[in-house]
Amino acid sequence: MIEMQYLVRQIPFFSGKNCSIHSDIYRNDAYPACLMVQCGIHMYKVRFPGVLNKDSVQSEKVALKVLAEHNVVGIPHIVAEGIVDGVPYLIENYIKGNSLDKIYKSLSCEEWEHIAHRLAFFLQEMITIQSAQPAVFKAPGNNYVNYGEVIRESVLRHLKRHTSSGFISSSAAFLIQEMLEDIGSVFHASATFLHFDIKPQNIVFDAQSKQVSFIDYEHSRMGDYTHELFRIDMAVMRNPYFNDCWHLAKQEFLSRQSSYLMKEEFSHKLFYYELLYDISEMTYSVLIGNRKQISVHLNKIEDKLRQF
């Protein structure tokens, strides 16, 4: 903890203040990825680059500034930023409360409904932040004009592997390729702001004030809002206690998208997302040799083919 105290003292914002480290949330090999620092009665969150995302501080900073410019509520605010010992940092105000994964057993139905309402409102605020240009997704050597192209390439890459190994028949592979012909026309909307990591661990609820906040924007980006919804669906599968809350929020969010065409478009996109998810999960099951799960995901893929 001594080296942490030294690091904090090097930050100008804390210079001359009587500060103590309240908690060392998680660490990088050389320095903490996130610290909670207390100065008198005030608490601050200090972010450093994460182990898996070296650009996390820059991403978080850009995202929070964009959200602040659009007056989005329920977000952290930047207090200070800079570089210490060659390492970038970002100081945010402390969000009072507890993340949902820690308090889900104590929440009442009314509190879950309140959180669901705030989550739906937060998503609604996100899609109003739009890029003037269509979403452009980049990968080494590739430029994509919409997320449909990303999905197509990913599906075809998995498909080739599973067809050659005999898990997916050539006739089924042909049908999947046929499905992907018009995928680009489905993903044509303007890019909107995506949190891209909405899950119980990143939703903070203060039982006293009933305030709901959304934290951790290091993975945020501009893209297709239906991908945000799909990613939360996947988070719910891994956090079943969050299920009812999310379905309430999703229903409220989609009800605000009153256009029939928009709802129809959402169902088309969801079809492709689910196809990609099942093929990706099947790939993982093949890699670890879980034949039971291979069969489960293969059956889901075949069900989608029949629906198509």
CATH of the domain at 155: 3.90.1200.10
Q: 156-175: per-residue pLDDT in tens?
A: 999 999 999 999 999 999 99
Pair 127, 276 in one domain: yes
| Average pLDDT of the segment spanning 235-246 | 92
Pair 268, 127 in one domain: yes
Pair 196, 265 in one domain: yes
Domain total in the chain = 2
* Whether the predicted pLDDT of 259 surpasses 90: no
Q: At which of 77, 94, 111 does a domain end?
A: 94
SS (H, E, C) 125-143: HHHCCEEEEECCEEECCEE
Would you place residue 237 in the very low, low, confident or very high pLDDT band (cuts 50, 70, 90)?
confident
Pair 193, 261 in one domain: yes
Q: At which of 34, 62, 94 does a domain end?
A: 94
In terms of Cβ atoms closer than 10 Å to its own Cβ (0-12, 13-18, 19+), residue 228 is buried
How many CA atoms within 13 Å lie on the side-chain side of 73?
7
Tracing tokens 């929070």 back to the chain, one arrives at 64
Lowest mean pLDDT among 86-95, 133-142, 229-238: 133-142
* Whether the predicted pLDDT of 7 surpasses 80: no
Would you place residue 28 in the very low, low, confident or very high pLDDT band (cuts 50, 70, 90)?
very low
pTM: 0.85
Pair 173, 300 in one domain: yes
Pair 87, 105 in one domain: no
Residue span of the structural domain in which 303 resides: 99-307
Pair 195, 261 in one domain: yes
What local confidence, expressed as pLDDT, does residue 56 receive? 87
Pair 157, 217 in one domain: yes
In terms of Cβ atoms closer than 10 Å to its own Cβ (0-12, 13-18, 19+), residue 22 is middle
SS (H, E, C) 40-66: CCEEEEEECCCCCCCCHHHHHHHHHHH
Q: At which of 26, 61, 94 does a domain end?
A: 94
What local confidence, expressed as pLDDT, does residue 2 receive? 47
DSSP state of 31: S
Pair 216, 132 in one domain: yes
Q: 66-93: per-residue pLDDT in tens?
A: 999 999 999 999 999 999 888 899 999 9
Pair 9, 113 in one domain: no
Pair 281, 134 in one domain: yes
Pair 265, 192 in one domain: yes
Residue 62 vs residues 54, 69, 90, 231: alpha-carbon distances, Å: 14, 11, 11, 22
Average pLDDT along the chain: 87
CATH number reported for the structural domain that contains residue 56 in this entry: 3.30.200.20
Between 238 and 76, whose confidence is greater? Answer: 76
* Whether the predicted pLDDT of 137 surpasses 60: no
